[in-house]
Amino acid sequence: MKNNLFWRIATAAVVVGSVIGTYAVNASTIRSSRRKGQDAVLPEHEEVQDANPLIPPGALFGIIWPFIYTGTTALSIHQALPSQLQNQRYAKSTPWLAASYVLNQLFGFFFASDTKTGVVGANATTMLNLIPALGLHQSLEIGRTPVKGVEKWLRIPVSVYAGWLTAASVLGATNLLITAGWKEKPGKAAWWAGGLLAVTDGLGYWVSRRLNDPIYMVPFVAAFSGIAAKQYGKNNLLAGMAGASALGFLSLLVKDLANGNQLQLGEARNDTTPEPAPAAETNEAAYTALNQEQAAGQS
């Protein structure tokens, strides 16, 4: 029991420390950039992001990440409470939560480096972090096991986290290609961007169906809406595709919630199909029916 409590507290310390460290590094980077008359994002990172039309507006990142950090920090503290030591979902989620925030701190280190290595490291870490994020989602049994109380609400930021990192992984892969020198002419680049948008669509839809989690789709609605707003007037084809994707995911989200799969509680699936009778009983019934038919024929 004491050993279990130790690892729960250690996980909470990793999460809290990673969040504080990330904000400290970001604040230092922003101050340094402003002293040099630069934007908040370092030039090497900004150059790649400007070349990628699928990057949402910066303001969206400022909304999503504080929500994720606040929610998962609360989760890390709640899972470390003595009253939750018997919660097996929390027991399974501990290593995934800790691993995710170790990678989060590593991302902060790379993102604060104004070098090509920093760009590659930040994007590769983002993609790698999708693994523990989905592991965390699955270990908490979101979309499979209904829960009540605080744990129910703490599932929401985990779902948003998994959805956001799924979309970010596609963007990260694109950023790596751009960093490696991939560049297309403007007309052709628009079609490539549309194709990558379709890939993100398909991946998001496929994963959301497997997870049975409507909240997972919220980041896709937000990201596609942001891309549509950012590209409107610059690349109207991409803006239209992104807007259509946002509406598509929003309709799925509303439909799932309306069908009762609210707050990723999962559905209590009622199987009304009667269980088949045991083989011995079936054979005995058939034998009795045959004897009755023979008796009726003889009479």
Find out whether 223 and 60 touch, Cβ atoms under 8 Å: yes
Q: What is the pLDDT of residues 255-289, one digit of tens each?
A: 998 886 544 444 433 333 344 444 444 444 444 55
pLDDT at 140: 97
Q: What is the pLDDT of residues 13-64, one digit of tens each?
A: 999 999 999 888 877 766 766 666 655 567 777 788 878 888 898 889 889 9
The identity of residue 118, as a single letter, is G
Picking from 213, 245, 215, the residue whose alpha carbon sits closest to that of residue 231 is 245
Where along the chain do its domains lie? 2-190
Residue 244 has pLDDT above 90, yes or no: yes
Q: What mean pLDDT is predicted for residues 179-194? A: 73
pLDDT at 177: 86
Find out whether 264 and 155 touch, Cβ atoms under 8 Å: yes
295 burial class (0-12, 13-18, 19+ CB within 10 angstroms)? exposed
Picking from 102, 104, 165, 156, the residue whose alpha carbon sits closest to that of residue 133 is 165
Q: What is the CA radius of gyration of the chain?
A: 25
Cα separation values, 78 from 74, 82, 206, 226, 298, Å: 6, 9, 31, 33, 76
The identity of residue 221, as a single letter, is V
Residue 196 has pLDDT above 50, yes or no: yes
Percent above pLDDT 70 for the chain: 79
Of 1 and 266, more confident: 1
pLDDT at 299: 45
Predicted TM-score (pTM) of this structure: 0.81
Residue 191: pLDDT band by 50, 70, 90 thresholds?
confident
